[in-house]
Amino acid sequence: MAYDSLMVFTGNANPKLASDVAKRLNISLGRATVGRFSDGESNVELLENVRGKDVFILQPTCAPANDNLMELVILADALKRASAGRITAAVPYYGYARQDRRPRSARVPIAAKVVANMLQAVGVQRVLTVDLHADQIQGFFDIPVDNIYATPILLGDIWKQRHDDLLVVSPDVGGVLRARAAAKRLETDLAIIDKRRPKANVAEVMHIIGDVEGRSCVIMDDIVDTAGTLVKAARALKEHGAKKVIAYCTHPVLSGSAVARIEESDLDELVVTDTIPLREDALACEKIRVVSIAGLLAETIIRISNEESVSSLFME
């Protein structure tokens, strides 16, 4: 079924995901030129009529975060000036989400709020995102935000693997709610890794709460960035007798030497979604596997466009 009033545009952040979503919606991607001037400035030109249309811009603000964010906001401005009926920013990975507070009253910005202000200022009327790093970021917006979850996709993959003696592990205290919900759905036990982070992007595993000996451990997290936490968690779990360690993470940021770190680690497998496109070294890594959220995004977009419930997608 084609939706005459629905259009999907994208920039250069994740064109494959946008193309997969458009195919599932049975529509063509909106035609637009999204490029660069010789000095590096982003430039956008819409190549078809959008007047009165329900338009979605599918663009994660992953690396290069500033370029992709700028493409998103000027795409939104172009659509507003071309009289689009409604503009929804579909941002599978919301960059700057980890800068959502002033830790210990440090003199730093709350960049997640700055991005929210930017999107609203250029005419975005609704935001669709996946697994926000902190749910309360929705409160930074004065427009509707649909924060959907990759959990059904990830849990479905775990069920398919049929692991023996499964145990869900939270990589830190902050992820306990996510891990507990997964353990409940999988009808299995929960363990927690207690770690201390002496400085940004450096994680030190302290000890494990729970019995992991002989278990197939599944670590559930939202973001894998430098992979320092995952690597140390896998090592600690194996040292405590874990039979197998698999990690499931929604957003594969994988910055710096993360891929090399994963290859050399005790981690048996890292399963991620395609909210962020993988670099070539990550695609070549045998320990990293991708499951797609294109179907979930397409279904959510249809429901938003048809003014139907989104939350019912995640009801038990």
Give the catalytic positions in this structure.
195
What does the alpha-carbon distance between residue 147 and residue 216 come to, in Å, rounded to a whole number? 30
Q: Which of 253, 247, 242 is nearest to 288 (CA)?
A: 247
Q: Which two tokens stand for residue 51?
A: 């007047």
Please report where in the chains the tokens 């499964």 appear, as a residue: 166
Are 167 and 191 in contact by the 8 Å Cβ rule? The answer is yes
Phi-psi group of 19: left, alpha or beta (phi > 0 → left; psi -120 to 50 → alpha; rest → beta): alpha
What does the alpha-carbon distance between residue 222 and residue 232 come to, in Å, rounded to a whole number? 17
Question: Strand, coil or helix: what is 92?
Answer: coil
What does the alpha-carbon distance between residue 10 and residue 7 come to, in Å, rounded to a whole number? 10
Residue 70 Cα to chain centre, angstroms: 19
Are 204 and 197 in contact by the 8 Å Cβ rule? The answer is yes
Strands 32-36 and 42-46: antiparallel
Are 255 and 283 in contact by the 8 Å Cβ rule? The answer is no
**Counts for the chain of helices (H) and strands (E), in that order:** 9, 14
Q: What is the greatest pairwise CA distance in the chain?
A: 61
Could you tell me the CA-to-CA distances from 175 to 27, 75, 89, 219 in Å, in that order? Answer: 37, 34, 27, 10
